[in-house]
Amino acid sequence: MSGLFLQFVFGLFVLRWNKGFQAAEFLGNQTVVFLEYTIAGSSFVFGEEWYIHGFVMYVSILFRVQNYSRLMTDLPGKSKIANLQ
C-alpha cells in the first residue's frame, strides 16, 4: 500500500508542478548519460561488437545462475514428463 501511495505522490509531483517535471527530466537525462558511459566501457573491454553477443551472454548468465541455485538440476526431476518413465 505504501508503494502505491509513493507512486501516486511522485506522479502528482511530476505532473502538477514544473519543478517536479524538470527534476524528473534531469534524472532521466543523467540516466541516459550513465548508460552511454556503460556502453563505451563495454566497448573498450569487450571490443566494438560486444552488443552482438549480448543475448548470448544474457542466456549464459541466466543458466549459470539457475545452475548455481540448483534450479536446473531439480526442475527435470519434478516435471511430469520425467515421472512417466
Instruction: Give pLDDT tens digits for 9-46.
Output: 988 988 899 998 999 899 999 999 998 888 788 778 77
Residue 62 is predicted with a pLDDT of 77
pTM given for the model? 0.50
Q: Average pLDDT, whole number, for the chain?
A: 78
Task: Name the band, by pLDDT with cuts 50, 70 and 90, for residue 65.
Answer: confident
Average pLDDT (58-82) is: 67
CB 15 within 8 A of CB 21: yes
Measured CA angle at 26 (ends 20, 31), to 5 deg: 130
